[in-house]
């Protein structure tokens, strides 16, 4: 009985130690004050105000202006964007949950415990300012009637670094949660100046990134450099941004073999925000990135608007490689320097990702100086292959694949920014960051918007979004063994986007699983004829046709 009692005490003590080890400490802070609607002048657009922060809309783009210390900035973010936070957090959860499998007799029963243990060090990698921002978001959302877990919000900050693609998405096999493209185009009329073209997507989230609406954030953190960025609700880091000193930073997440959630290190997007808040020069920015260990891996492009120079930093948890004279003006989802390109996970991505064709195509299009900003917009809207051949709408190997959660053009010298408005047929809204970040001029005087491409079908993007949502439902049903429901969902997708390549590929796979080999053969052939956009799937299709 004494032995049993000692075992019981050990179990109780062990349980409390475990709970203490896996819990995240919530920083203190309070949220008070009401959210009000204010109209600054007759005829001006009304703004949603919370303290000194505000939310306005430019067309279909929410513009968040935040001021104060870290907790106050987080609280304003949570209060003003409260309705849009739960869908993003929910979409990120499967990418976190599936970092632990349910194999074994007790796999499902112990899943939550093992997940908490695997992710126990995530909050240790956040600095105090990060944790205070996240706590502010939680409390701000709660004050607006939205309950969010501090643990879920903290983990969501690291999902780009160590999350995995949801099994319902087309990226599950490629293990790619995010895809991005950064293009540097030289201005013909000002050789020392550049335009930065940018597109960022989250196809591996459970909803394909549909909930990650583009949010233009203009932040004035207390005691730090003001910055602007484009991200999504709940994100306290930066993946596409520029500060008042004209230092621009673009984060392109990649995969390497040394990435793991049990490491205590800073998520890359949070490091990027710190760089914008502290770096006054290109060298300062590069040094911060080089000396700060990161949780994930990324290709980071740093641009100095003053000189028009730019640097490539390949940052992994264990290494930082700096290339001051990059060979290519377009960068994407893989590491390219000799020191890191042979990494096993990076090599796998190079062989399996169709998105790498976008990089080659973009590099070709910006080989010569661009005459105006509309030319850079044309690059971001391009839907052709490297050899100029036409690709079907939504092809995953073209620059504009219809999956971007945000796309933008930035002139870091003049601090002019254009962001695509997804609700205006692709029109790019202009922002005057000289006034927003530096206070130059009595009021903002943005350049003209870049109009939508008149040659594009205005219903193209809504149809692609609806079709891909149906395809995610079809993949979920196919994974569950319900081929009939999978076939129905795939048919719904084909109605919205008849030539969408991934719909043809999935239709063939469903027919193959159902034993309808004639239908599978026809769908595989149609997919290959339109230009396959899944290298591993292409091998599978050609093998099936050969049989």
Q: How high is the pLDDT of residue 42?
A: 76
Q: Do domains 52-454 and 461-546 have the same CATH topology?
A: no
CA 44: distance to chain centroid? Answer: 32
What Rg, from alpha-carbon coordinates, does the chain have?
24
CA-based torsion, 261, 251, 458, 430: positive or negative: positive
The pTM is what? Answer: 0.94
CB 89 within 8 A of CB 147: no
Query: Would strands 330-331 and 47-50 be described as parallel, antiparallel, or unpaired?
Result: unpaired
Sites in the chain below the pLDDT cut of 50: none
* Tens of pLDDT, residues 16-51: 777 778 889 999 999 999 999 998 777 778 899 999
Taking the domains of the chain in order of start, what are their residue ranges?
52-454, 461-546
Residues 252 and 378: their CA atoms lie apart, in Å, by 21
Q: How high is the pLDDT of residue 109?
A: 83
Residues 84 and 398: their CA atoms lie apart, in Å, by 29
Which backbone phi and psi does 230 adopt, to 5 degrees? -120, 120
Residues 495 and 240: their CA atoms lie apart, in Å, by 35
Query: Would strands 320-323 and 309-315 be described as parallel, antiparallel, or unpaired?
Result: antiparallel
Q: How high is the pLDDT of residue 242?
A: 98
CA 477: distance to chain centroid? Answer: 26
* Cα–Cα separations (whole angstroms), residue 330 to 180, 265, 358, 380: 11, 28, 9, 12
First to last CA, the chain: 68
Cα angle for residues 405, 382, 472 (degrees, 5° grid): 40
Q: Which CATH fold topology does 461-546 show?
A: 1.25.40
Please, what CATH class does the domain formed by 52-454 belong to? alpha beta
């Amino acid at each position: 009985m004494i032995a049993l009692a000692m075992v019981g005490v050990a179990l109780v003590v062990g349980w409390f130690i475990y709970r203490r080890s896996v819990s995240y400490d919530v920083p203190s802070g309070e949220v008070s004050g009401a959210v009000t609607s204010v109209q600054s002048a007759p005829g001006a657009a009304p703004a949603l105000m919370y303290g000194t922060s505000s939310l306005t809309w430019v067309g279909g783009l929410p513009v968040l202006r935040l001021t104060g210390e870290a907790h106050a900035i987080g609280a304003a973010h949570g209060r003003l964007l409260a309705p849009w936070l739960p869908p993003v957090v929910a979409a990120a959860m499967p990418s976190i949950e599936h970092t632990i499998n349910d194999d074994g007799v007790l796999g499902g029963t112990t899943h939550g415990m093992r997940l908490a243990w695997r992710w126990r060090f995530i909050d240790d990698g956040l600095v105090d300012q990060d944790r205070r921002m996240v706590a502010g978001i939680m409390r701000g959302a709660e004050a607006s009637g939205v309950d969010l877990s501090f643990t879920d919000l903290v983990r969501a900050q690291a999902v780009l670094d160590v999350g995995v693609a949801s099994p319902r998405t087309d990226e599950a096999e490629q293990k790619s949660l995010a895809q991005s493209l950064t293009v540097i185009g030289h201005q013909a009329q000002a050789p020392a100046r550049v335009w930065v073209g940018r597109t960022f997507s989250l196809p591996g989230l459970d909803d394909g990134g549909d909930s990650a609406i583009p949010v233009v954030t203009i932040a004035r953190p207390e005691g730090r450099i003001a910055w602007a960025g484009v991200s999504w609700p709940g994100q306290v880091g930066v993946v596409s941004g520029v500060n008042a000193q004209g230092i621009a930073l673009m984060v392109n997440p990649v995969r390497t073999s040394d990435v793991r959630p049990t490491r205590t290190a800073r998520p890359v997007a949070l490091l990027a925000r710190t760089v914008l808040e502290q770096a006054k020069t290109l060298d300062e920015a590069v040094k911060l990135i080089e000396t700060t260990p990161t949780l994930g891996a990324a290709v980071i492009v740093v641009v100095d608007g003053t000189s028009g120079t730019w640097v490539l930093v390949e940052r992994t948890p264990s290494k930082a490689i700096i290339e001051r004279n990059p060979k290519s003006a377009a960068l994407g989802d893989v590491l390219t320097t000799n020191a890191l390109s042979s990494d096993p996970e990076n090599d796998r991505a190079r062989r399996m990702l169709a998105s790498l064709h976008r990089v080659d195509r973009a590099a070709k299009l910006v080989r010569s100086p661009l005459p105006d900003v509309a030319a850079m917009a044309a690059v971001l809207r391009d839907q052709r292959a490297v050899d100029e051949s036409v690709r079907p709408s939504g092809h995953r190997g073209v620059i504009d694949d219809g999956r971007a959660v945000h796309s933008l053009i930035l002139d870091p010298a003049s601090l002019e920014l254009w962001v695509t408005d997804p609700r205006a047929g692709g029109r790019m809204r202009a922002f005057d960051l000289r006034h927003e970040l530096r206070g130059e001029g009595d009021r903002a005087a943005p350049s003209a918007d870049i109009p939508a491409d008149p040659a594009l079908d205005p219903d193209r993007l809504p149809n692609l979004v609806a079709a891909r949502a149906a395809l995610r439902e079809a993949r979920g049903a196919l994974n569950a063994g319900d081929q009939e429901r999978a076939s129905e969902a795939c048919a719904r997708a084909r109605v919205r986007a008849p030539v969408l390549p991934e719909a043809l590929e999935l239709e063939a796979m469903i027919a193959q699983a159902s034993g309808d080999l004639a239908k599978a053969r026809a769908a595989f052939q149609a997919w290959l004829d339109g230009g396959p956009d899944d290298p591993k799937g292409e091998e599978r299709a050609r093998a099936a046709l050969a049989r």
